[in-house]
Amino acid sequence: MKLAIVGATGMVGNEILKIIQEKNLAYSELILVASNKSKGKELIINNKSHFIIDLDEMLEKKPKLALFSAGSQISKIWAPKLAEIGCKVIDNSSYWRMVVDHKLIIPEINGAQLEKNDTVIANPNCSTIQLLIAIAPLHKKYKIKRIVISTYQSVTGTGKQAVDQLNNEEQGLAGEMAYPHPIYRNALPHIDDFEENGYTKEEMKMVNETHKILDKSIAITATAVRIPIEGGHCESVNITFSNDFIINDIYKTLNNTKGLKVVDDIHKNSYPMPINSKGKDDVFVGRIRRDHSEKNSLNLWIVADNLRKGAATNTVQIAEYMIKNDLL
């Protein structure tokens, strides 16, 4: 299997390369693709030299599977070109997520929807992935009516320029700004562009993607906030169910959910934190408690490394699912 990584030198691309080595993903040839600025750069993967090539060269090599993490415009143009030559594409950008004929996949939740004729498969937004890993089993058991989400998101979700801005500001250095305001010792209630309804694209991604993957009938509102950390994204989630629950059954359900780890012992000050999620593939949930102000309601605190499960890990897991089920 010829495997192409498009956007191999970016933050998510770097994580994809780490994960395919960790998981020993089988391929006959690894094709690393990035912008012309990185063309010719050497990367060592599995103790073997690989050189970055451009998109045209990749097309000539006719990969069987391509993992994209190079932005919406690249995905818009090049994913169909690969599909035309029989290559399957798993795309990390937002471009294909809400396109009707393209599936939006979290393997633990809806991997079974994948079929052999799927050509371009979309990877959900990082915040959506960690949210749904935690709430999908609860929806199945108690039926969710409404969700209120507040996110506290790492600068790594914006990219290297944002990480550089944070580090520069911490050190008192001048540099390029990824954000319209300082991020060091600050919090910005502004992730992605604002839409006409007053919400940002990031907030609406969580609404729309949850509807597509889980259930269109769920009422959802979100506020997304950027904070000066690098370890991962955090979410404060308030859920109202149609049916009542016993809190011990909530713990039992979450403890039995694949890809999810419960970290919740307030007597030992144990709860999920981004500093502990960094580099991990699991989603972590804690501060699990009944909301006594509203009938059939629950509070959760959900944390995950946005570059791992929120992007690279989920992408590689889709690839593994397709390989295992002979869908390439």
Q: Could you list the active site residues?
A: 126, 233
In angstroms, how far is CA 318 from the centroid of its own chain? Answer: 12
HEC string for 244-307: CCCHHHHHHHHHCCCCEEECCEHHHCECCCHHHHCCCCCEEEEEEEECCCCCCEEEEEEEECCC
**d(Cα 118, Cα 103) in Å, to the nearest integer?**
8
For the chain, the distance separating the N- and C-terminal CA atoms, rounded to the nearest angstrom, is 9
Which positions ≥6 away from 307 have C-beta within 8 Å? 11, 12, 15, 126, 156
Phi-psi domain of 198 (left: phi exceeds 0; alpha: psi -120 through 50; beta: other): left
